[in-house]
Each structure stands twice: as structure tokens, then as C-alpha cells.
Chain A
């Protein structure tokens, strides 16, 4: 019996120890492949910094305006409120119900009153732990400088409004949505996903708070919200019946918006508004005020049609952490509205032609025949990264560029313009915004100063209270024979510049001067000159309050009035605010980059299915001014409310299939040849020595020669939110973090909890000065949705926001920010509306210039994202975007171009999309011709989460990280790969396959080595001009060490190995004895 027990014990020991040994070997293997991530997650380092100098040296390269973390955070609090004050838009104010009297008795309705929309979800989200809710804001709760903005230091104040407390508390309970680490149960009517889940009116009526309505009836304030974020677009239908709206999908996400449309009021919201109208009619409340707390704005048919007696309406976007206070102050007249819409607000989303060709939470577009070419759907994703597409069929006519152009053509009686009823399509035009006062523009004067038009206009406050107003400048360009011959489309008016007045007292006048670069009048001529041109004909520059006013002024300039157009023109225009000029064809002035002097030429014909070499029988008729009726295809709904989308249908061709596969195939793309650069030289340089050297300095080669092949591979293989330290050149690690609305990591500025991607920020200023709040929970500022910043039309505010983001990054030790978000709000249904600025690329770019300058001024490099063509989220991986080169450049690239060329952005993050067949992350023309040669971008082209494209996310990878670097389409893959990680795209490869002989490789791929060298140089050039260098001097050395966890792993492996061997030896020994005895 004893023998049997011993034998079993021996077996158990063997099993346990062998298991632990095997497991530790495997774990060690996996962990070492992800060493960088693990080191960061454990808050350890794989290098130490040694100071070898004899005395202190200046190692601060950026100067902060703040003295402490509290000071910094309070600065963010003030600036975010300014942003919201300047950008909130007053849409409607009948009978001057606003401003409310301070202390007015009000009752709040709507789920958002208890659970505000502070920001987006996903990587574009903000931290809202210290946010001020609507109720707190109306109550006067605020922060003060001494303790700054942290939730434990909220200070009560004089209420702006006297809120029906019972109802407010009830709403908070109904809609409670727990935050991070909060165990409180969700409220019964908490919004979730795309379920609005508004509290039913009968429940509201039965509540105690509702009985107090007459006492709090100065106004009923209805606050409604809609959510958006990364990963999916918003649903316009809940239908799942194939063929009624689109094509294949199997996943159903529902919304309770009317007709399954998230951007319509829900039946419950309608009930509430109807109920409030009844109360107003009965005299129980005096007015109804609607606050749209959303970046993705709902269709406003009910407001235009005055269905619910809403007296005033405010668009507040997603309000950021403290924007509620700004809105409270605006509602009672402590401040005045001065924002202008950054996107068109539609009366009916069915009348927005873009919506025919945009994905949605519930559908996307696939080539009908993709299976013929060997592509299959990934069962986990219901689509493949090779089979989906979107045609931007609207071409140049998106947002106001459609509504205003068709309106002008309708008024002018252009053939096939159709019966375009502007008022039924547009609720509020681009740029629109009311104020508590009125402004008049007069005495416009235009002169030339070099290549700029200098526009001066007198702005007079003609009302009774102080206020500011945006001054918008639109350009009208010719649309004549040249354009038609060369297939150029020209919107009626396009924003080209803007300004904003100072705060004008009643009766005060300010002459606003706005400089419009002639460059902003250029047109991209794909089929004629093949570059930017000034087309021949008459041009007009128009000063206006909004885009629609600009068109009416243009029409007035043409001699049109409502009377002589038989009422087609809906308002008088101001011909005196239009300046006319004339150009002959100029195909040379703007044919070269003013940054690099390199030629600008057609580079994206492949992205237009009509000019793509592998188009097969496909063709698309883009929207055209010459045939609105024939080229505008609107969505419709069936009798039971289901959506029918007349989307563009394309078929895959063999050439397209081949292009999709070949571009990532290392065996087909990478060719042998070329000389390798030098590795491992001893030139005695450190990165910091090149801080003042130009990009072309020969010292760069000397520095780069010091790096080993292995260091180069390691640097290029580990880019997840960082750049890694390099010992041979004393390059410190750099940390790059999200996101588009300011830094949004859930850690404090002071202590900096471990970053899941790369550990604590390498060398935060807060730690260098040993700030007393290092371990406090002060957090980064959560700014308003970017549409609000655009709506400020205020460069000074944008500059302050940018500087604040830069300051926060500087204090926290970051060297880059994964933002700002410069894609275009192509449709209200776009998932990431909160991250992007506008439907207009010029407004997006112009407002971003000072923001980017502010961020960059603190050594925080912006990774503009998602560069480019990420105007949809659903099925975003590999989606093939088809449109014209003119559209690409003028409507989508322009925002990035301005932020790089004028704002000085160093870096970009590419999108997951494709332009036609070419993955943006692997599009050489985009990176080299556009970003570098045209915009002059000096720094890093980084992918978005590369693992999603190269590993696992889909059945088939669609980019190759090795090919990307080889072609110089991207420099850094935003992911952490093992140095010997395999690339599975067309043959299996590692970087080692292309190594020089000195590093144990074949030595046949010098070209690969040179490409890697160039990418490395760009990374280093960006880093040496960043905050990553702060705290490091010429005396500083970087010394690689083994992080403690790696020693723990090795110890465990050895220990279990020894124990396993001992247990096996014991068993064998005993077994031998037992067998001898038995024998």
C-alpha cells in the first residue's frame, strides 16, 4: 500500500513539475515576444538613464506656463469652458425666451439631464471622472483654483437656475450609468449602445417631481443625447430583411429611434415633447427649451415643423467635462452665444444623398461576386478585409456643398436642377448660429497683398447686449466650359477663411480683417492639367454669417432677388458683401508645393473606379451640377419604415483581386539588391547631439551608422503608443497617447499609473519637479467634441486648447498625441463624429492649424488621424473607398494638408481604409507624394493598430509590416511585435530574412536595409524635436538592462526544470528498485 502511495506521489510530482516547467517555458517564450508591452504594464524599464557629466546641464527644452499640477488642471478647466462657450450654437430663440432670468424655476426632462453626453466612446473618448453634470452646472457647482478640478473639490455656488430637484434626482436614478469601478446598478432607463431608452411619459407623469412642474414652470428644459464612437456607425434602420436596405449582414443591433433610425426622435422622446406642449398650452410651463447634447445630430423635422412648440433650441455637441457650466451661463445670459454650425443640420436625413452610400451599424457594401476570386467572409466579423467598399458618389457635393449648390442652381433655373425645396432639406445651414444680439456687416473692402486677398469688413453690434460673431468668407469659383471639359465639379460656395470679432458692446463697431490666400481658390484638375489650377473665369469672395447667406449674397451679386426668381430665392442677399475678380487659366502657380517646391501631379487615379486600370465593367456616375435629377440618389423608406438605399453596386474584377493580394506580398514587392547601410559603428554620437541639426545634415548618417541591425528591427517593430529606447545612440523612449479630444488615458497627470502599452511616461515634468500632487487623482482635461471647437470659429480658442493639450502632455511626459481627428463628418451617422471637426475640410483644417501649433509648441507631436478616408467605422478594416482625385484632395486631404503644412504637425496615423485597391497604410503615393512631397511632413507615418491588419483580426491579413517599411508607405507599425515576428502576407517572412550578413542574414536585400534606415531616421528626427528629450542632456546615457520580470521568468523556468528532472529521477530510481525486487 505504501509503495502504491509513493508511486502515485511520484507521478503527481512529475506531472506537476513538468507541467509547471512546460508552462513556464511556453510563457517565457510568449512573454519575451511581447517583452516591451509587459515591461510597461509592470511599470518596469528595460533601460536606465545614467548621467555621466560632471555638472548639471540645461535639459529643459520647452517652457511651461504653469507652476503646478493643480495650476495646470485648473487651466484646462477654464479653457474647456471657454471652448464650449464659444462653440455652443443657438439654433432657435422664438419670442426671446432665452436668456432665462437667473434663478428661473425650471424642470429638466430627457435622459441626458441625468446622464449627460460628455464625449465619445472608444479611443476618442474623454475622461469624465471629474465632470460637472447638467444639474450641478445649473446649481452653480464649480471648481476653484486652490484645489483645482477634481471631483472631491467641487464647490457649491449661486445657482444659475432653480432646478426642480425631485425630478432631477429621479432622472439621475432612472438613467444612472456606472463609471469605472462603480458597483452601483444601472438605472432602469439608462441608455445603452444605440438604445435611447428614454423614460416613458406615463412614468414621468406618475413621478413625484412631475407634480411640482407648475412651481418649476418658467421653462421645461429637454436635454436629449445620442452616442457615437469607435467601431461602428450609427444605425439608420433596424431592419434585417435582406434587400430592403442593403446587402449581407447577420448581426443586428437595434435602436429605439423612430423607424429604427437612431437619428430620429424616439417615440418616447416624442411623447415627452408632446406632453410638454400640452403643459405649455395649459399654462403650466412658460416655455420649452431643447438642448441637443450630441455630436451626431438628429434630424430636426420636428423643430422646423414646430410640432412641439419648442421655443428655443441649443446645439451643445458632446460637452466635455465642464461644458455644462458654459451652457448654463449661456442660458441665463451670463455669456452670449457666438458659435456657428460646423455641419449642416438636416430636416430629413433621407434627403441627404450621402446617406445612400454610407455604412451603418447594420450594413455595409460588398462586391457581389467576391467569392469568385477566392475571398470569403470571416465568420467572426461577417465580412472580410478584402470585400467591402464605399463609393463616395456625391463627389464634391457633400453637406453644404450639396445643399447650397443645388439651391443656387434651382434658383438660377439650371437644367435638371429639379424642384429643390431648400427649407424641406436643411433645418439649419452650415455656419449658422444666433446670438442674443444682432450684428451687421458693412463696408467690405478687398485689397491684394502679395498672393493674399485682404478683406476688411465693419461688424457692428446692432442689438442691446454685448456679443461676438464669426465672420465667414466663402469663395465662389467658375463653373463653365473649362470645368465641364475637364470633369471638374465646383460647389456654389466654399468656405475659404474666417475670423471672429472681439466682444462688441451694443453699438460698437469693429473692422475685421481676414487674409484669404489666393491658394485657397485653386481647384484640382485631374483630367486637364493634372495638377492644381486656377480655372478661367469669374471668382467671388463673399463675407457672410453662414453658407446659405453666402449663396443668397452671391445670387444678389448676380442680380437675383426673391421677386425676380418667382420666390425660388428664399431671402434677399447682400451684393455689397461680394467681391468679384477674374482669372485666366493658371496651371503653373499652384502646380508645385510651396513647402518643398516639388511638383504636384495626379497620384490617385487608382482610387476612382472610373480611372482605375482594373475597373472591368464597373463605372460610377458621380454627382454633377449638370444633372442633379439624374445623379442624386436619395434613400427612401417603405410604408413600414424600412430603409431602402440606392447605393452604388460594384463587382470585383480579377485585376482588383490581384492588386489587393499583391500589394502586401513580400515575395512580389521586395526585390533583391542595393547596399546595406553601416551598422554598429562607433562614432561617439548621441541623439541629443543632433537636436539642432537639419534633416539633411550628414551627422544623421553618422548617428544612424551606430545603430545595430537588431536595434533597428526592435525600433520599427514596437510602436504601440510609443517609440522604444535605443542604447547605441542614447535615444530615450517616447510615449504617444490618445486622443483626438485631448489626452484620455485613465491615469493621473501626476503619478501616472502604468500605461498598458508602454509603462509610465518616460520622464514626466511633474516628476522632475517633484510636484506635491504626483500621487493625487488629477486628470487630463476632457475637451468638448471637436465639432464644438470648429463651431467656435475662433483661432484664439483653438490655440488655447492646443497649448493646453501640449502642456498636459509635457507635464505627463508624453512625446506624442494620437490625434487630432481630421477625418470628415461625411454623414450624421458617422461613428466618430465627436472626434472629427466638421463636414468641411477647410474649416477642419483652418481651426486645427492653431490647435496643432499649440500642441507641437510643447514638444508633443501630433499624429493626425485617421489619415485618411476613415469616414465610416462599420467594416472599416480594408474598406475600399472609391472617389475622384479632386474629391480626395479638396474634400478629404485638405484638412490634413493644412494641419501639416501650416500647423506644423510632425506625424500622421494612417487609417484602416483603402483608397481604391491600395491600403492607405501601404499607399506609397499617399505617403511620399502627398504627405512628404506636397505637405512637407517631416516625421513619422504610423499605422493605426497594425495588429488588426496583420494579425488575427480577420481571416486574412491585408497589410505587411515589412512591405510597408520597404515601400516607405509607413515608418512605424502601431503595435508591439517580437523582433522575430512572422509576417504572413504572401510567404512567411521576418525582418531577419532581409538582414545583412553581419547580422546573420543573406545580405541580399540592401534596399530593405536602406528603407529601414530612412524610417528610423524619420522616427529619430521626430523624437529629437519632442518632449521625449526633456530632462536629458548631452551627459545622459541610455543603458539597456534586463527588466526584473525577465529574471523572475528565467528563475521559474530553471527551478521547475530542476524539480522536474529530480522528480523524474526519483521515480526512475524507485521504479528500478521495485522492478529488481519484483524480479
Chain B
């Protein structure tokens, strides 16, 4: 049975999961664009986790493991966020505690927004009802 034929009628959760995968990939790309050339603020493990999460999310959706896909992306998004925090906090410290820099770089703001959105969206996806089969069981 092809994946297209298996798509059920209630597709909210599945679409959310696929959107989440797209957001996860977008976050990785934005992060790399903003900080890819600045080693001290670039966590490549976070970048890879986001991409891996997105890939797993899509793959698991297509094999109809919807909840597992959402959970997988939630774990990777959260882990990536933590890695991002771990590497970027020094920048924030310098801004607020250092004696010269007083304003936040737009790159930091944009990247942070993406990471936080990605994490929140992943949580929402986990709690969204996934596809419902004929027997009323959610998957």
C-alpha cells in the first residue's frame, strides 16, 4: 500500500507533524546561516539533531508511526534547544554583564525565536490527536 493511499481523512496531527519537521529543518538552516561561520556560537550537534529529527519525523509519518514521529521530533528539538542554550549563553552574558556590548544581535534574536518556536511546536504536536482510524483508535 502506498503512503498516499494510507492517508486518513483526519489529517490534522499528521499535517502538524510534517509541518513540525519542516520547521525543524528550517530552524537548522536559519541557525547555520546565522552562525555557521562563527564557531564559538555554532553547535553542529544541535544542527544535526534538528535535521535528524525532521528526517525521522517525516519517515515515521510515512510508515504511519505518527505519535512516535512527533515524540521523536520533540526529543530532538528539545535536545537541540539545550545544546543551543549551552553554546549561546556566553553571548548573552557578554551582552548583559560585559562592559561594552549593550544590544542583542538580530541573528541571536532570530535564531532564538526559531529554536523556541520549534520546541513549542514539537510539544503541541505531541499532544495533538494524531490520525484516527475507523475503530476510533488514535495512532
Contacts and interface: CB of A to CB of B under 8 A. Distances in A.
A951 B85 contact: no
Interface in A947-999: 947-948, 951-953, 955, 957, 982, 984, 988
Contacts of A947: 90, 93-94, 98
Given A22-B79, A30-B86, A381 B101 contact: yes
A15 B126 contact: yes
Nearest to B105: A380
B91 interface: yes
Contacts of B105: 379-380
B78 A18 contact: yes
Interface in B90-131: 90-91, 93-95, 98-101, 103-107, 123, 126-127
A8 B40 contact: no
B101 A380 contact: yes
A988 B137 contact: no
A23 B99 contact: no
Contacts of A150: none
Contacts of B104: 380
A26 B91 contact: no
Given A15-B123, A15-B126, A26 B85 contact: yes
Contacts of B106: 379
Contacts of B2: none
A8 B127 contact: yes
Nearest to B38: A955
Nearest to B123: A15
A5 to B, nearest CB: 13
B2 to A, nearest CB: 26
B90 A952 contact: yes
Contacts of A955: 38
Contacts of B38: 955
B94 A952 contact: yes
A951 B99 contact: no
B100 A948 contact: yes
Range class of the A interface residue count: 20 to 34
A988 B39 contact: yes
Interface residues of B, number: 30
B94 to A, nearest CB: 4
Contacts of A876: 100
Contact of A982 (B40, B79, B93): B40
Contacts, number: 73
Contacts of A311: none
Contacts of A984: 39-40
Given A22-B79, A22-B82, A952-B40, A945 B98 contact: yes
Contact of A952 (B86, B91, B103): B91
B99 A945 contact: yes
A344 interface: no
Contacts of A865: none
A629 B101 CA distance: 41
A1078 interface: yes
B135 to A, nearest CB: 9
A495 B105 CA distance: 48
Interface in A363-411: 379-381
A26 B74 CA distance: 17
B94 A948 contact: yes
A11 interface: yes
A644 interface: no
A193 to B, nearest CB: 13
A951 B94 contact: yes
B87 to A, nearest CB: 10
Nearest to B119: A19
Given A22-B78, A952-B91, A230 B137 contact: no
5 contacts: A876-B100, A952-B90, A952-B98, A953-B94, A1078-B137
Given A230-B99, A951-B40, A984-B40, 18 more contacts: A11-B126, A15-B74, A22-B78, A22-B82, A25-B82, A123-B99, A379-B105, A380-B105, A381-B100, A877-B100, A945-B98, A945-B100, A947-B90, A947-B93, A947-B94, A948-B101, A953-B94, A988-B39
Interface of A: 8, 11, 15, 18-19, 22-23, 25-26, 29-30, 122-123, 230-231, 379-381, 876-877, 945, 947-948, 951-953, 955, 957, 982, 984, 988, 1078
